[in-house]
Homo-oligomer: A and B are copies of this chain.
Amino acid sequence: MTDLEKSMESMITVFNKYAHDGKHGKALTKKELRKLIEAELPNFLKTQKNPNTVDHIMKDLDQNKDDVLDFEEFMPFIAGLTMACEKYCSMSAKKK
Q: State A42–B94 Cα separation when bound (angstroms).
A: 33
Contacts from A to B (Cβ < 8 Å): 2-15, 25-26, 39-43, 71-72, 75-76, 78-79, 81-83, 85-87, 89-90, 94
Contact check, A15 vs B86: say whether CB atoms are below 8 A apart: yes
Residues in chain B near residue A42, CB distance under 8 A: 2
Q: State A94–B15 Cα separation when bound (angstroms).
A: 17
Q: For A42, A76, A79, which residue has the most chain B Cβ atoms within 10 angstroms?
A: A79
Q: State A42–B40 Cα separation when bound (angstroms).
A: 28
Closest B residue to A13 by beta carbon equals: B3
Contact check, A79 vs B85: say whether CB atoms are below 8 A apart: no
